[in-house]
C-alpha cells in the first residue's frame, strides 16, 4: 500500500511537471522522468528523457509566448503487488492570453511512476486532449 508520503510525493511530481512546462524548463522537466520514459499523445510518441528534453521545446513554443499549465484533480493509485510503482490521473488546463484568461486546451493526463531508491520518477505520461488544439 502507498503511504501518505508516497501519495503526496507523487501528486507533487505531477504538479511540478506542469509547473516546469509553464516555465519552459526542458532540463528540469526531463529530469522528472526515468531515462527510458515514454511520453505519448496528440504530439506523437517520444521515448527517453533525452528525446523528451529536445521535443518538448517546440510543443511549448507552439502554445504561444506565455501559457500557464494548471494541474487539477490529481488522483494517485497504487499498483497492486508493487510498492515501487504507482499511477495517477489528472486534468491539465493550459491558459493563454494577455492575462492568462483564455482556455487554450484541456487534456486528461495518465501517468505511471516508478520509485528509484527513495525518489519517484515518471515512467510514462499520456496526454489525451479533451479540446481541440
Please write the tens of the pLDDT for every residue from 79-133. 999 999 999 999 999 998 778 888 988 999 999 999 988 899 999 999 999 976 5
**Cα gap 15→41, rounded to integer Å:** 19
DSSP state letters, 12-75: HHHHHHHHHHHTT-HHHHHTTEEEEEEEEETTEEEESHHHHHHHHHHHHHTT-S--EEEEEEEE
**Cα gap 34→56, rounded to integer Å:** 16
How many angstroms separate the first and last alpha carbons of the chain?
38
pTM of the predicted protein model:
0.91
Take residue 121 and report the three cell numbers written for it: 520518477
Amino acid at each position: 500500500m502507498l503511504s501518505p508520503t508516497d501519495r503526496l510525493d507523487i501528486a507533487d511530481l505531477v504538479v511540478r511537471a506542469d509547473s516546469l512546462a509553464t516555465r519552459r524548463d526542458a532540463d528540469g522537466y526531463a529530469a522528472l522522468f526515468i531515462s527510458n520514459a515514454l511520453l505519448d499523445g496528440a504530439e506523437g510518441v517520444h521515448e527517453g528523457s533525452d528525446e523528451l528534453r529536445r521535443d518538448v521545446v517546440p510543443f511549448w513554443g507552439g502554445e504561444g509566448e506565455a501559457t500557464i499549465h494548471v494541474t487539477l484533480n490529481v488522483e494517485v493509485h497504487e499498483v497492486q503487488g508493487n510498492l515501487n510503482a504507482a499511477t495517477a490521473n489528472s486534468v491539465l488546463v493550459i491558459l493563454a492570453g494577455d492575462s492568462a484568461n483564455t482556455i487554450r486546451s484541456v487534456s486528461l493526463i495518465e501517468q505511471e511512476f516508478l520509485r528509484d531508491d527513495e525518489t519517484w520518477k515518471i515512467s510514462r505520461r499520456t496526454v489525451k486532449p479533451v479540446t481541440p488544439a
